[in-house]
């Protein structure tokens, strides 16, 4: 218990916008509490980024009171009874208390209720079911406090039953274990997850994607990914091979600001086909897909780079590739036999990353060629591409004399 910070709960209730909200929603026979992640994280002294509330009020009443109080109400999940209430620019999800009446492994039919205990027991893990009253009272219907104190992620009730209600809870079990637990996963939860593994197949790709991308950046992602593999989950999730070494090396240097898509790349992308498969399997966004494909191409390029990478090579790479990605790929392959990377190359990369040295930018534009007498048209693009090749081969110089000379040469060659 001493590892939990009960005073932080008071701090949570001192937030002015949240106070205003709770004042409005705790009157005239209605009760509204803070629930879930905010309470859990406050007790752990972890940052509280979003605050969810549950209430005895029905969605219409939530919206109506918001309007009267001058808050903005956005019906974000009206079927589920969720309204986002914005107070002084800060959004809060306010959800009517619910009870599950029917589940099919991926959806639940819910009834609105007025019982905080029942609402807590339909949640997934004991540490996610705590609620905090406006008066500062902490409610714990499922022994969440003791599990939180001993850093244990446990299903509420029988793990098999809870997983069969919603197979996504398998993914969430590992995600929350990775983020909040110490020691091994709860044996009952682990065994039930393994036994119910095939159920993951009925879930939507979007839901899997969401949990997987959060899992790969969780605090203990490395250990947990290993557990996923050891228990036969990983191949099914990724649809291909995993590179633990690269994942672990990246995780050992990006801990301050891990980026989900780069972690996924290090783990699961070896060639461009991997990127294509993952896009499809996980319904990745265009931006994520582009990043994975670019990672694959750069990885292939570096693995087949004939010479050791020196500062000049790094300059060329920086001119042609996203610096952040270059850093990611090099972190992932560090220690592998190829590429061979010289210290001065890494130093150059650090200078580019910090801005101490500007990333070289190709100095010619189409307009320069037009001015030099080349008629507008496809020829311009071809000439620029040729000039760019020369520029890369000649060390990516950006000084004016060089640029003038390069222009003269392309114009001469026509
Ligand atoms: P995070 O900080 O990671 O967002 P969180 O606790 O807010 O943590 P969410 O995924 O946002 O996690 O879910 C909010 C709450 O809703 C959870 O704390 C949990 O009580 C409940 N919950 C979410 N998904 C499920 C689910 N599939 N089954 C049961 N309860 C769930
Ligand atoms: Mg949340």
Q: What is the pLDDT of residues 357-403, one digit of tens each?
A: 999 999 999 999 999 999 999 999 999 999 999 999 999 999 999 99
How far are the Cα atoms of 15, 139, 229, 307, 312 from residue 163, in angstroms, in the given order? 36, 24, 19, 52, 55
Nearest ligand to the CA of 165 is: 1
37 lines ligand 1 (CB under 6 A): yes
The pLDDT of residue 414 is: 75
The pLDDT of residue 306 is: 85
Q: Which of 140, 241, 224 is nearest to 189 (CA)?
A: 224
Contacts 24+ apart (CB under 8 A), 98-107: 98/122, 100/165, 103/164, 103/165, 103/166, 105/164, 105/165, 105/166, 105/167, 105/199, 105/202, 106/166, 106/167, 106/168, 106/202, 106/203, 106/204, 106/207
Q: Which CATH class is domain 1-156?
A: alpha beta
Testing ligand 1's pocket by substitution, the residue of 92, 121, 123, 129 carrying the most ligand atoms inside 8 A of its CB is 123
315 lines ligand 1 (CB under 6 A): no
**Whether pLDDT at 241 is above 80:** yes
Provide the b/e sequence for 339-355 (b: ≥16 CB within 10 Å): bebbeebbebbebbeee
93 lines ligand 1 (CB under 6 A): no
pLDDT band (50, 70, 90) for residue 80: confident
Spatial separation of the C-alpha atoms in residues 29 and 61, rounded to whole Å: 13
Element (H, E) at 55: strand 52-55
The pLDDT of residue 77 is: 86
pLDDT tens across 264-310, in order?
999 999 999 999 999 999 999 999 999 999 999 999 999 998 899 99
Q: Mean pLDDT across the chain, nearest whole number?
A: 96
The pLDDT of residue 1 is: 44
First-to-last alpha carbon distance for the chain, in angstroms, is 78
Give distance in angstroms: CA of 329 to centre of ligand 1.
33
To the nearest 10 degrees (0 to 180), the angle between helices 221-230 and 205-215 is 130
- Across residues 34-63, what is the average pLDDT? 97
Percent of the chain scoring above 90 in pLDDT: 96
Q: Where are the domains of the chain?
A: 1-156, 234-360, 366-413
The pLDDT of residue 212 is: 98
Beta bridge partners of 54: 33, 95
Atom from ligand 1 closest to the CA of residue 169: 27
**Whether pLDDT at 2 is above 70:** no
The pLDDT of residue 20 is: 97
98 lines ligand 1 (CB under 6 A): no
175 lines ligand 1 (CB under 6 A): no
pTM, to two decimals: 0.93
Q: By alpha-carbon position, which residue is closest to atom 1 of ligand 1?
A: 37
The pLDDT of residue 320 is: 92
The pLDDT of residue 335 is: 87
The pLDDT of residue 312 is: 94
Give distance in angstroms: CA of 50 to centre of ligand 2.
6
pLDDT band (50, 70, 90) for residue 78: confident
Residues less than 5 Å from ion ligand 2, measured at CB = 37
144 lines ligand 1 (CB under 6 A): no
pLDDT tens across 173-193, in order?
999 999 999 999 999 999 999
Atom from ligand 1 closest to the CA of residue 214: 3
Backbone angles phi, psi at 100, to 5 degrees: -75, 130
Spatial separation of the C-alpha atoms in residues 154 and 188, rounded to whole Å: 8
The pLDDT of residue 187 is: 98
Provide the b/e sequence for 377-404 (b: ≥16 CB within 10 Å): eeebeebbeebbeebbeeebeeeeeebe
The pLDDT of residue 81 is: 86
Specify the range with the lowest mean pLDDT, choosing from 70-74, 97-101, 157-161, 285-289: 97-101
Give distance in angstroms: CA of 348 to centre of ligand 1.
43
166 lines ligand 1 (CB under 6 A): yes
């Amino acid at each position: 218990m001493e590892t939990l910070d009960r005073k932080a709960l008071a701090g949570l209730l001192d937030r002015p916008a949240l106070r205003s909200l709770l004042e409005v929603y705790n009157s005239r026979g209605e009760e509204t509490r803070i629930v879930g992640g905010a309470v859990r994280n406050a007790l752990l002294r972890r940052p509280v980024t979003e605050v969810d509330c549950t209430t005895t009020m029905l969605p219409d009443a939530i919206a109506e009171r918001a309007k009267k109080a001058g808050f903005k109400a956005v019906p974000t999940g009206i079927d589920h009874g969720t309204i986002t209430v914005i107070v002084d620019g800060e959004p809060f999800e306010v959800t009517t208390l619910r009870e599950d009446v029917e589940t099919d492994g991926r959806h639940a039919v819910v009834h609105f209720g007025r019982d905080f205990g029942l609402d807590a027991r339909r949640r997934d893990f004991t540490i996610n079911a705590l609620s905090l009253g406006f008066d500062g009272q902490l409610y714990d219907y499922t022994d969440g406090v003791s599990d939180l104190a001993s850093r244990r992620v446990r299903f509420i009730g029988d793990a098999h039953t809870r997983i069969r209600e919603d197979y996504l809870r398998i993914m969430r079990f590992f995600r929350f274990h990775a983020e909040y637990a110490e020691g091994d996963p709860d044996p009952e939860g682990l065994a039930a997850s393994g036994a119910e593994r095939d159920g993951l197949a009925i879930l939507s790709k979007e839901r899997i994607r969401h949990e997987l991308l959060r899992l790969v950046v969780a605090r203990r992602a490395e250990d947990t990914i290993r557990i996923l593999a050891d228990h036969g989950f990983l191949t099914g999730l990724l649809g291909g091979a995993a590179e633990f070494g690269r994942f672990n090396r990246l995780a050992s240097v990006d801990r301050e600001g891990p980026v989900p898509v780069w972690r996924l790349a290090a783990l699961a992308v070896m060639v461009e086909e991997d990127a294509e498969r993952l896009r499809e399997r996980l319904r990745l966004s265009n931006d994520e897909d582009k990043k994975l494909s670019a990672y694959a191409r750069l990885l292939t390029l570096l693995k087949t780079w004939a010479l050791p990478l020196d500062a000049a090579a790094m300059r060329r790479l920086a001119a042609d590739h996203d610096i952040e990605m270059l850093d990611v790929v090099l972190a992932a392959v560090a220690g592998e036999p190829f590429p061979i990377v010289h210290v001065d190359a890494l130093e150059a990369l650090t200078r580019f990353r910090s801005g101490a040295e500007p990333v070289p930018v190709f100095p010619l534009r189409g307009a320069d060629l037009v001015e030099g007498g080349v008629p507008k048209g496809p020829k311009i693009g071809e000439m620029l591409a040729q000039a760019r090749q020369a520029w890369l081969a000649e060390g990516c110089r950006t000084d004016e004399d060089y640029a003038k000379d390069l222009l003269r040469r392309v114009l001469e060659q026509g």
